[in-house]
Amino acid sequence: MPVATPKQYEAMLDAAQKGGYAYPAVNVTSIVTINAALKAFADAKSDGIIQVSTGGGQFASGLNNSDAAFGAIVLAEATHTLAEKYDVLVALHTDHCHPAKVDGFLRPLLEASRKRIAEGKGPLFNSHMYDGSELPLEENLAMSKSLLEECASLDIILEIEAGVVGGEEDGHDTSGLPAEKLYTTPEDMLAVYENLNGIGRFLFAATFGNVHGAYKPGAVQLKPTILRDGQKAVTDKYGAEAEMDLVFHGGSGSDLSDIRETLGYGVVKMNIDTDTQYSFTRPIVTHICESIEGVLKIDGEVGNKKQYDPRSYLKKAEKSMADRLIVAAEDLLSNGKSIYGTV
């Protein structure tokens, strides 16, 4: 199955909202990590979301290029091709794009989708994230409205953020911000709905203490009820149909009880990156440690080609990452719920 069409992606989000589950959204940086994600979704019989960050795109473009948009296009095109071999729906998304990177990252990707559509194909990406949370809310929403109009004209969904996800990711560090910045208020959620409703479909990353990265248990204090209270403020004023599609950022390492609670408040997508990075790297380290004499040419020896062949450890990494993503699908209750073949 190729990457989901715009209508299929909307159907995926509708099914998750109605069914009380969410999709794992995993960051990829290579063919190997794309294959790990596709294997996981297929094995779990779960639809899912594959996403590319600015740093991931930059990495994928190669050391001599360091071009985030170019690398993202390469990864997206590879996903379109590889996904044809699987019987689940997969959507393509880009992760945090901050205001300073809109012109160099997001707009070239929109142009790539525009060219594909002119050729009779669907857009390159199903959705993009614009993260203007570093700006005052009024400025954030003004840019969000402009980008949503452009995305909607291409049948692309826009994800926006109000409130700040803590920690550091791809060089963007918010760890020094006051704690109150980590929590979206009901007033913020109302403002988002009132400014964006009617322009096009959007996803909203409301923050409730989320933090990127890995932390010991108890270090991150999530407050999922913030999502409940914000949704209530919107639906009390505009009716049940105004409930928004929410996104859970910083899902790695979260307690299962917090994850499951958010599903009842409208979360349809949860980002997972740190945990899958670790699950990818861990078996590589084990392979190197257990095969050190074969991997290295020690004391003039020739080593063992089968052990230093990158395929020998990258296959283990692919499987380990896929296994971790299957757990994510189970945590989010999306396993066994693929709508492939029904839309």
Q: 341 exposed, middle or buried (CB, 10 Å; 0-12, 13-18, 19+)? A: exposed
95 flagged as catalytic:
yes
Taking only the tens place, the pLDDT of each residue in 108-152 is 999 999 999 999 999 999 999 999 988 999 999 999 999 999 999
In whole angstroms, what is the distance from residue 118 CA to residue 294 CA? 52
In whole angstroms, what is the distance from residue 68 CA to residue 105 CA? 6
In whole angstroms, what is the distance from residue 332 CA to residue 319 CA? 20
Can you give the pTM of this predicted structure? 0.92
pLDDT at 248: 95
Q: Which of 52, 53, 147 is nearest to 90 (CA)?
A: 52
pLDDT at 1: 67
Does domain 6-280+327-332 match CATH 3.20.20.70?
A: yes
pLDDT along the chain (343 residues), means of 10: 93 98 98 98 98 98 98 98 98 97 98 97 97 93 98 98 62 50 87 98 91 53 91 98 95 87 97 95 98 94 96 98 98 98 92
> Catalytic pick from 43, 47, 87, 95?
95
Taking only the tens place, the pLDDT of each residue in 94-109 is 999 999 999 999 999 9
Token couple for 340: 């492939």
Determine the residue type at 244. M
Q: What does the domain layout of the chain look like in residue ranges? A: 6-280+327-332
